[in-house]
Amino acid sequence: MESASLIQPVQSTERIHVLDAIRGFALLGILLMNIPYFAFPEETVSNLNIRNEYSGLNYYAWWIVNLFFEGSMRGLFSMMFGAGMILLTTRLSNNVMIDSAAEIYYRRIIWLLVFGLIDAYIILWPGDILYSYAICGLFLFPFRSMKPKYLLIVAGILMVLFTIKVSYQRGGPLRNKIAAEAILKKQLPPGKMTLDQKEIVDKWKGFQENQKLENKKKAVTSDVRKTKGSYATLFSHYAEVNTFLETNEFYQSTFLDCLIFMIIGIAFYKLQILTGERTMKFYFLMSLIGYAIAFPLVYYKLNIALQAKFDIIKITEKSALFTYEIRRLSLTIGHLGTLMICYKSGAFRFIFNIWAKVGQMAFSNYLVQNMIGGLIFYGFGFNYFNELDRYQLYLVVPCIWLVNVLFSYIWLNYFRMGPFEWIWRSLTYWNIQPIAKKAEKPVLQPSI
Encode 108-136 in three state secondary structure: HHHHHHHHHHHHHHCCCCCCCCHHHHHHH
Exposed/middle/buried for 358, CB within 10 Å: 0-12, 13-18, 19+? buried
Tell me, what's the pLDDT at 445?
A: 39
Say how far apart CA 246 and CA 127 lie, in whole Å: 10
The model carries a pTM of: 0.92
Cβ count within 10 A of residue 37: 17
| Total residue length of the chain | 448
**Residue whose C-alpha is closest to residue 254's, from 246, 264, 265, 263:** 246
pLDDT of residue 97: 65
- The mean per-residue pLDDT over the stretch 311-332 comes to 94
Question: How far, in Å, CA of 72 to CA of 443, rounded?
Answer: 34
What burial letters (b/e) apply to 152-184, b meaning 16+ CB within 10 Å? bebbeebbeebbeebbeebbebbebbebbeebe
**pLDDT of residue 124 exceeding 50:** yes
> Residues of the chain with pLDDT > 70: what percent?
94
Alpha-carbon distance values, 258 to 137, 145, 153, 362, 416 (Å): 10, 20, 16, 17, 29
- Quickly list DSSP for 131-196: HHHHHHHTTTGGGTTS-HHHHHHHHHHHHHHHHHHHHHHHTHHHHHHHHHHHHHHT-PPTT-S-HH
Cβ count near 402 (within 10 Å): 10
Query: Which tens digits make up the pLDDT trace of 38-66?
Result: 999 999 999 999 999 999 999 999 999 99
**Could you give phi then psi for residue 436, rounded to 5 degrees?**
-65, 145
pLDDT higher for 445 or 113? 113
Residue 2 has pLDDT above 80, yes or no: no
Mean pLDDT calculated for residue range 299-303: 97
pLDDT digits (tens, 9 = 90+) for 184-208: 998 888 778 899 999 999 999 999 9
DSSP state of 433: P
Of 330, 327, 354, nearest in space to 342 by CA: 354
Whole-number pLDDT of residue 376: 97
Taking only the tens place, the pLDDT of each residue in 399-426 is: 999 999 999 999 999 999 999 999 999 9
Task: Determine the Cα–Cα distance for residues 52 and 48; give it in Å rounded to an integer.
Answer: 6
Whole-number pLDDT of residue 225:
95
Flag whether pLDDT at 290 surpasses 80.
yes
